[in-house]
Amino acid sequence: MGCYAAAPGAFKNPSSQVLDIRNRLFLIDCGEGTQVALRRNKIKFSRIKNIFISHLHGDHFFGLMGVITTFSLLKRTAPLTIYGPKGIKEVVLLQLKLSQGFTSYPLYFKELESKTATVIYEDDEVMVTTIPLKHRIYANGFCFQEKQGERKLDINAALNHNIDKAYFNKIKQGGNITLDSGEVILNEDLTEDPPPPKSYAYCSDTAYKPAIAEQIQGATMLYHEATFLDSHEHLCKPTGHSTAKQAAQIAKDAQVGQLILGHYSTRYGHLNLFKEEAQTIFKNTYLADDGAVFEV
Amino acid sequence: MGCYAAAPGAFKNPSSQVLDIRNRLFLIDCGEGTQVALRRNKIKFSRIKNIFISHLHGDHFFGLMGVITTFSLLKRTAPLTIYGPKGIKEVVLLQLKLSQGFTSYPLYFKELESKTATVIYEDDEVMVTTIPLKHRIYANGFCFQEKQGERKLDINAALNHNIDKAYFNKIKQGGNITLDSGEVILNEDLTEDPPPPKSYAYCSDTAYKPAIAEQIQGATMLYHEATFLDSHEHLCKPTGHSTAKQAAQIAKDAQVGQLILGHYSTRYGHLNLFKEEAQTIFKNTYLADDGAVFEV
């Protein structure tokens, strides 16, 4: 919903993304104006149960209080969990206290301070691991991994063996079937491999950090910040950011499926320059844009 | 720049106004998205030296951190002073600390906790007094008063008396002139009264409070919140808001020049209903709107 660095403009929103994994929505970062961007992109607020904040720079979290407060105005009852750097709870609770407000729903915090990759969220279908980044302040990326889904039932094979529907779930979960005759039908004769589980790695903000590539080997899609072009590479160190070229190097080394660039400095006129630069190293590169939708 | 209550929408900005008094700009309230609204309305950031926050509900101050941070990104050097309820300094400094940030300019706070009208700002041309409001939490309106300007020199009268230009400033400041001949020319023969000083009273958010009318007697322009129509008057007490009718009653009792309504609940389809209701009591009523400009 937003992919620009630093100060927002009328048509340049700061960082915020919605990730939809099998109809579960995850909000990643929450710059100022995110609640308006959610409305504009017709994202139903009530479907967001978890918000992940990479770091406490304003362009990644100044919209959080607005989201939390508006959810309350709308009389939300479903729990909401915020994952973010230590200190985020204090900021939110202080502002709720000063407004003598409270949330209409249970609000949970999972504060992060570990500097090693840590599993911070897990349900029956999705696992989220932090990706320690290299920025001016403590920052994490997040790797969202689908779990292996059920095996794909070959319905005709099952019918040919006169297997009762009652066993279909067992088959999808990998089990063999013993017929009344005593004959054993192997699972491999009844199912196909499920689609490989997908993964999405969000890395913003960060300087070039080769360890990221090691951690996210084979990710289906990588979003990596590209604040600068190579011509401004000297600005990366003092600011803790990357160039498009460096983002592409991470994508190449990690052998990811696709690379999405974002967090562009607003100093550049044409975003295509980022794509062109990255594609000299990693061909399958796309440009994030406010309101853009990508399928992983 | 924004005049809607509660949660912002794509085309409904929360409270924020810029008041221009003889080229001094005062920012009043700062809901989420104010920095973008400032850009959209082509307000030069560097001209804002003072920000007044009425109270610590999000729709009046969640845009403040963004403004403070963006001013820094733009390498502002001019001091900025924030006037607002006690606690505002803690919220701002906590977030600056967590982002390991600092401002590129001196940032001052004047925290308010008095429940009586207090002069909180004064320079050679303008004086700002708090207007204690009646809301769910501690809230102040602000009365901006021009000071009496210089007397208006009748240039022909001065020339007829052969008065040297060097004395013009003295005359504008009300002095008499003694000619070389010893003749005294009275100031009243050389000047006209200056235009009467104007005043602007900002009252949001507040329930109906007759004392406001006493304090702002004869104000040139009043902005008074009108969250509800009279048909929802029963909601005023629990929420600490006013109806359009009540806003008009304050305007009438205070004998102000003009009334501007704002802070509309988004439940109503047509803003004209607010105007029509208010005009049954106070004729000279106008509707605030995002981006609207009014001359006091």
Q: What's the token pair of residue B213?
A: 């009318």
A201 touches chain B (CB under 8 A): no
Among the residue ranges A230-244, B184-198, B201-215, the one predicted with the least confidence is B184-198
> Which of chain A's residues have a Cβ under 8 Å away from the Cβ of B136?
100
Q: How far apart are CA A85 and CA A129, in angstroms?
A: 14
**So what's the ipTM on this one?**
0.88
Q: Which of A39, A57, A91 sits opposite B10 (nearest CB)?
A: A39
Fold of A17-149+195-287: Metallo-beta-lactamase; Chain A (3.60.15)
> Which of chain A's residues have a Cβ under 8 Å away from the Cβ of B42?
none
B291 touches chain A (CB under 8 A): no
Which of A29, A21, A153 is closest to A83 using CA atoms?
A: A29
Q: In sequence order, which residues have a C-beta less than 8 Å from that of residue A63 and are 6 or more positions away?
A: A14, A16, A30, A31, A32, A33, A34, A35, B32
Residue keyed to tokens 């990730």: A19
Q: What's the token pair of residue B239?
A: 């929420």
Chain A CA closest to residue B85: A98
The tens-digit pLDDT sequence of chain A (296 residues) is 999 987 777 778 999 999 999 999 999 999 999 999 999 999 999 999 999 999 999 999 999 999 999 999 999 999 999 999 999 999 999 999 999 889 999 999 999 999 999 999 999 999 999 999 999 999 999 999 999 888 999 999 999 999 999 999 999 999 999 998 999 999 999 999 998 899 999 999 999 999 999 999 999 999 999 999 999 999 999 999 999 999 999 999 999 999 999 999 989 989 999 999 999 999 999 999 999 999 99
Q: How far apart are CA A142 and CA A200, in angstroms?
A: 8
- pLDDT number for residue A168: 93
Tens of pLDDT along B231-272?
Answer: 999 999 999 999 999 999 999 999 999 999 999 998 998 999
- pLDDT number for residue A239: 96
> Which of chain B's residues have a Cβ under 8 Å away from the Cβ of A111?
none
CB contact under 8 A, B58 and A40: no
- pLDDT number for residue B6: 77
Distance from CA of B5 to the nearest CA of A (A): 11
A267 touches chain B (CB under 8 A): no
A73 touches chain B (CB under 8 A): yes
- pLDDT number for residue B101: 85
Tens of pLDDT along B147-180?
Answer: 988 899 999 999 999 999 999 999 999 999 999 8
* Cα dihedral B177, B183, B186, B189 in deg (nearest 10): -110
A81 touches chain B (CB under 8 A): no
- pLDDT number for residue B125: 92
> Which of chain B's residues have a Cβ under 8 Å away from the Cβ of A266?
none
Tens of pLDDT along B31-59?
Answer: 999 999 999 999 999 999 999 999 999 99
Which of B256, B253, B25, B243 is closest to B125 using CA atoms?
A: B25
- Which H helix or E strand runs over B287? strand B285-287
- pLDDT number for residue A101: 85
A225 touches chain B (CB under 8 A): no
- pLDDT number for residue A11: 76
- Residue of A1, A16, A30, A32 to mutate, interface with B, max B Cβ within 10 Å: A32
Distance from CA of B36 to the nearest CA of A (A): 5
Where along chain A do its domains lie? 17-149+195-287, 152-192
Annotated catalytic residue, options B29, B59, B230, B290: B59
B29 touches chain A (CB under 8 A): no
3-state secondary structure B195-255: CCCCEEEEECCCCCCHHHHHHCCCCCEEEEECCECHHHHHHHHHHCCCEHHHHHHHHHHCC
Q: What's the token pair of residue A131?
A: 């990706």
State percent of chain B over pLDDT 90: 91
> pTM of this prediction?
0.91
